Amino acid sequence: MDKKPLPELDRICAAFDCAGTWISSCPIPSGHINDTYCSEFAASGRRVKYVNQRINHLVFREPEQLMENIGRVTRFAREQITAAGGDPDRETLTIVPTRDGESFLRTSEGTYWRMFRYIDGARTYDRVEDLRHVYAASKAFGNFQKMLARLPGERLHETIPNFHHTRKRFEAFRDALEHDPAGRASGVRPEIDFVLAREKDTGVVVDGLAAGRIPERVTHNDTKLNNVMIDDRTGEGICVIDLDTVMPGSVLYDFGDSVRLGAATAAEDERDLAKVGFDIGMFDRLAAGYLDAARDFLVPAETDLLAFSAKLLTLECGIRFLTDHLKGDVYFKIHRPGHNLDRARTQFKMVAEMERQLDAMDAVVRKSL
């Protein structure tokens, strides 16, 4: 479980090119992969905050390529925001370089660190507290895709190859089931059967992409609502964060994945399944926000599958949680025994509810087109 000692953040911070004197650092405990901290500095009589992140290089095998992607995306976003008269210091992430001018630090212990400026006057929400935030965050993801459709230069690196290749995720699940390395399969038969019964869904988007029916685009690929910062004053989604998985993909990955949190009645790891569900009213706000930003560049092959993608990406995430449970919790951080299984169960409950409401979901999408 997640009980690592606090790293020496004063020493880490000293390697980065930020002004002032380090005061303190504390963990920001959200996220299942990287370790995130907030550090405070005193600079010219003011307190200035930064975000430090240790990149999980067992998950992101090529941290250099990952940071190259983020550098390209944030530089381009800066130009676009500036040209539109916005505030690039708040509307995109700003990488703080190391004193050697690099975008990340590799320590002598072989860990990878990066630093961003902290965005004041805005925050993220791990649970939906206000329907307006759902609309705002979804619109921010739509605008993010729209901006990145113009990103010049070469194809971005695939920071995790086949990240949303649902069929490959299904195959990895079947492999874990066959080998059952942690001896847990017999305890999760209903969940296993739930996944096995849905094998044919797993090819729909990846086959469309491979055949060229669905266009490849630059997408975010981790569109949980807590990856958009909501402005405290205006309630607008001002900045899309967590850019580790920005890479080639399908818009269906982004829209579909946003539903897992954006239309959920409970937390991703809620144990009381009676509380867990899919809320079509929230889905309506997600679809409206997303399409208000994206409707003019999407093609029918994409819009036809938006409702289905919600179910598919929720299923995919559930498959990943269940696979990790079967493998003995080797990928996602867990904070209690059975945590990945609890997460898989919430996803499957949402999938089952979406399956019953797919026509209504399609109608919601059509209305917002």
Summarize as ranges the residues that interact with ligand GN1 (CB under 6 A). 31-33, 59, 222, 224, 242, 245, 268, 317
Nearer to ligand GN1, 33 or 307 (CB): 33
Nearer to ligand GN1, 18 or 324 (CB): 324
Torsion (CA) 311, 312, 318, 320 in degrees, nearest 10: -170
How many Å is the maximal CA-CA distance in the chain? 62
Nearer to ligand GN1, 32 or 285 (CB): 32
Nearest distance in Å: CB 93, Mg ion: 13
In this chain, which of 35, 242, 279, 329 binds Mg ion, going by CB under 5 A? 242
59 binds, among ligand GN1, Mg ion, none (CB under 5 to 8 A by kind): ligand GN1
268 binds, among ligand GN1, Mg ion, none (CB under 5 to 8 A by kind): ligand GN1
CA-closest candidate to residue 104, choices 94, 95, 114, 96 = 114
Scanning the chain, the segments in alpha helix (DSSP H) are: 9-14, 63-83, 88-91, 131-148, 166-179, 189-196, 204-210, 251-262, 280-294, 300-303, 306-327, 339-356, 358-368
Nearer to ligand GN1, 105 or 317 (CB): 317
The whole-angstrom separation of Cα 165 and Cα 162 is: 5
Residue 228, SS3 per DSSP: strand
**Per-residue x/- marks for Mg ion, 263-292, CB under 5 A?**
------------------------------
143 binds, among Mg ion, ligand GN1, none (CB under 5 to 8 A by kind): none
Distances (CA, A) of 244 to 54, 63, 286, 326, 354: 12, 9, 23, 26, 28
Q: Does 254 bind Mg ion (CB under 5 A)?
A: no
Nearer to ligand GN1, 77 or 243 (CB): 243
Residue 221, SS3 per DSSP: coil
The whole-angstrom separation of Cα 331 and Cα 314 is: 18
**CB neighbourhood size of 180 (10 A):** 12
Q: What are phi and psi of 117, to 5 degrees?
A: -70, 150
Indicate the DSSP class of residue 153.
Answer: S
Q: Does 191 bind Mg ion (CB under 5 A)?
A: no
Q: Does 222 bind Mg ion (CB under 5 A)?
A: yes
Piece in contact with Mg ion (CB under 5 A), picked from 137-145, 199-207, 216-224, 265-273: 216-224
Nearer to ligand GN1, 48 or 59 (CB): 59
Distances (CA, A) of 271 to 95, 257, 328, 344: 37, 21, 19, 11
Nearer to ligand GN1, 13 or 243 (CB): 243
325 binds, among Mg ion, ligand GN1, none (CB under 5 to 8 A by kind): none
74 binds, among ligand GN1, Mg ion, none (CB under 5 to 8 A by kind): none
The whole-angstrom separation of Cα 8 and Cα 234 is: 37
Nearest distance in Å: CB 152, ligand GN1: 26
Binding site for Mg ion (CB under 5 A): 222, 242
